[in-house]
Amino acid sequence: MLQVPEPFLRVERLGRDFGRFTAMDDVRLDVAEGEFLCLLGPSGCGKTTLLRSIAGLDTPTRGKIFQAGREITRLPPAQRDFGIVFQSYALFPNMSVAANVGYGLRGPAWPRERAAQRVAELLELVGLTPQAERYPAQISGGQQQRDALARALANEPGLLLLDEPLSALDAIVRLHLRQELRAVQRRLGVTTIMVTHDQEEALSLADRVAVMDRGRVMQVGTPQEVYATPANPFVASFVGRSASFDAVVAGDGVRLPDGTRLPAEAAHRHPEGCQVRAFIRPEDVVLGGEGPLTGEVTSIEYLGSVCRLELRAAGLNLQAEIAPRDLDGMAPGERIPLALPPGKLMLFAQDG
């Protein structure tokens, strides 16, 4: 029989209450060794509470946490095997870049020569060797982030925790550093959990994404899975852009409020007459041809490599994305045929 390896980190039915407010409830999560997992969700969804519980900075009200087979639920941070990078970086302003990295390398396990070698290795890894003797105030925000990352990795932790480490940086620096972060993580093979509210960041960095809302995990899957096959309406609306509308299952498709019928492959998963919420991604809306709908262009947004169109068709508000070269003089008020491909409509039964 094939042996399935135990997860490096296991979270079992974790919950955290603050008085009458439940910040986290019944969270279950397995993280494999060497995996990069992103906790993605809106502000207040419980992702930072979960990260702090894993780090021992917050004590859960119920549930258990295991790391490498050892229960760590109520262990103090000093007895856990992790490194952490905060949003603010929390560097010591009176210490040099190198001294910040080596701050935790003390005791019999880290004689002076070995500690100095480890600091030099990490500074080289994150590209800060030329800035080794500078102080945090003398380097850029991106370099401070690298310094904080190197410090978190100095003790060779089994687990790396990242609390929105890129959110304070401007867009261009953030894009560059997330690529560097992923390269460092892959090179070292360290199990990593990162909190973010940035969908693009999560989808581009993670091996898997855990989408959270109102203290619960809504879906865990690869970036492709959570984007293309969302588990529920929240995931469909939060991850990526989409237009949504109400419909009723009718035969092999759905019927819109104005009576228009649209074929939908997902209709067979729901009973006839079921009230559903339908979602469609902008890139899946097909313009022109023999579409069953005619839409009016209400606005055009130029975004450089893509143009986003707002459309009104059969009482629905839709979005479509096209290359700028395909605009061909299109302007608001123009009416064009469009289609919603049957295989791209995502349908979710509505409660009640």
pLDDT tens digits, one per residue of 18-38: 999 999 999 999 999 999 999
Helix (H, G, I), strand (E, B) or coil at 33: coil
If you average pLDDT over every residue of the chain, what do you get?
Answer: 93
pLDDT at res. 352: 46
Residues 92 and 227 in one domain: yes
Residue 56 forms part of a structural domain = yes
Task: Name the token pair of 315.
Answer: 């009482």
Residues 158 and 40 in one domain: yes
Residues 229 and 255 in one domain: no
- Which of 186, 207, 236 finishes a domain? 236
Indicate the burial class of 14 (C-beta count within 10 angstroms; 0-12, 13-18, 19 or more): buried
Is the confidence at residue 5, as pLDDT, over 80? no
Is the confidence at residue 2, as pLDDT, over 70? no
Q: What is the pLDDT of residues 140-154, one digit of tens each?
A: 999 999 999 999 999
Is the confidence at residue 170, as pLDDT, over 90? no
pLDDT at res. 3: 56
CATH number for the domain spanning 330: value is 2.40.50.100
Question: 264 with 278: CB under 8 angstroms?
Answer: yes
Q: What angle do CA 19, 20, 23 make, to 5 degrees?
A: 85
- Which of 236, 261, 279 finishes a domain? 236
Highest mean pLDDT among 5-9, 51-55, 197-201: 51-55
Q: List, in order, residues 6 or more apart from 337 with CB less than 8 Å away.
A: 287, 288, 289, 290, 291, 293, 294, 295
Task: Name the token pair of 20.
Answer: 């009458």
Question: What is the percentage of the chain residues whose pLDDT exceeds 90?
Answer: 86
Stretch 75-101: mean pLDDT: 94
pLDDT at res. 205: 94
Q: List, in order, residues 6 or more apart from 84 with CB less than 8 Å away.
A: 55, 152, 160, 161, 162, 163
Residues 193 and 331 in one domain: no
Lowest-confidence segment of 1-10, 216-225, 253-262 by average pLDDT = 1-10
pLDDT at res. 196: 94
Phi, psi of 330, rounded to the nearest 5 degrees? -60, 140
pLDDT at res. 4: 55
Is the confidence at residue 89, as pLDDT, over 90? no
Question: 53 with 2: CB under 8 angstroms?
Answer: no
Residue 2 forms part of a structural domain = no
